[in-house]
Amino acid sequence: MHLRNLELFCSVADQRSFSKAAAAHDLTQSAVSQAMQQLEDSLGTLLIDRSKRPLVLTPAGQTYVRGLRNVLRQLHRLDQEVATLGESLSGQLKIGAIYSVGLSYLPEATEAFSSQHPEVDVKLDFGTSERVIEMTSEGQVDFGLISFPKNTKSLQSVLWQQEPMRLVCSSDHRFANRTNLDISELKGIPMIGFERGLALRKEIDQYLLKAGVTVDVRMEFDNADSMIRMIQASRGIGIVPEAAVRRETANGSLRVVACRGFKMTRPLGIIFRRSGQLSKAASEFGSLLLGRRIEAAKHKPGSGKAAEEIQTTEHGKKSSVVA
């Protein structure tokens, strides 16, 4: 079975479109359609329901693409390892990340990694936590970076860092020049917040509730960047990850409010598939983030526990580039 057809099928499954898959591989839509027909003929079953738009995989197609991604991933990894024996790293590295982590940390980390391994083509894909978990589980990325990482039956997670959360406001907000605000003064205050369904929003609400504070969340967003823009535009206030507002607090468009009684962090972690192992490039990038070799701690699969600390090898101790 032609390897190109297998790779095209995965692309069609991801894009849900012949035309988008064709553009991604510099082919005509007709060529992709013919390749999919050949693949289905060889298997003797339909993989794609062409009656719907966007395209939908049949049950057979869903089963096939799950197994196929793992096979292709192992094949490409083997090709890369053989090609790079005794040489510098090369090939492609795909990383998925939630927006706040991707925008705050990955530009610097990618630049540092590329300076050491210029032959590796690093591709970044941003999304919600659910999307990053999905991409990692399905093998669309080598590993993912999310907040509140947990171990599952199919994914291993390792703790990267505890990122401080900050109470920030517009420079025009009435709290902008307060140097010793008490957390009790936040009670009932109008605030810009994360969407209720997000793990971070739940943790913030629980933290404030324990402090006896309930705020009035007027607008909700699914990512920190949108929150920051709205806090600026509405002269508002909100609680966001520290790294996400470094630029704004540095140029004075947002102020960090010193709040007595508020000291919250969120855990950030790396997730990757239990099946197979990280490629050399993925391992090197993960180790660069952590400041030590990335090796998953041993524990029972599917325990649902939060990310565990990484085992540190004696030869791999160094400082993290971003944490």
Give the DSSP per-residue string, 160-181. Answer: EEEEEEEEEEETTSTTTT-SSE
Per-residue confidence band for 302, with pLDDT thresholds at 50, 70 and 90: very low
Is the whole model's pTM more than 0.85, yes or no? no
Per residue in 84-143, pLDDT (tens digit) is 555 567 889 999 999 989 989 999 999 999 998 999 999 999 998 999 999 999 889 999
Say what the pLDDT of residue 207 is.
95
Of the listed ranges 41-50, 63-72, 224-233, the one predicted with least confidence:
63-72
The per-residue pLDDT for 87 is 58
10 Å Cβ neighbour count for 278?
A: 22
- Asked whether the predicted pLDDT for residue 306 surpasses 90, the reply is no
3 state DSSP class of 213? coil
- How far apart are alpha carbons 124 and 150 in whole angstroms? 22
CA-based nearest residue to 248, from 266, 236, 265: 236
Binned at pLDDT 50, 70 and 90, residue 171 comes out as very high
Q: For 158-168, what is the mean pLDDT?
A: 92
319 pLDDT above the threshold of 50: no
Q: What is the pLDDT of residue 166?
A: 94
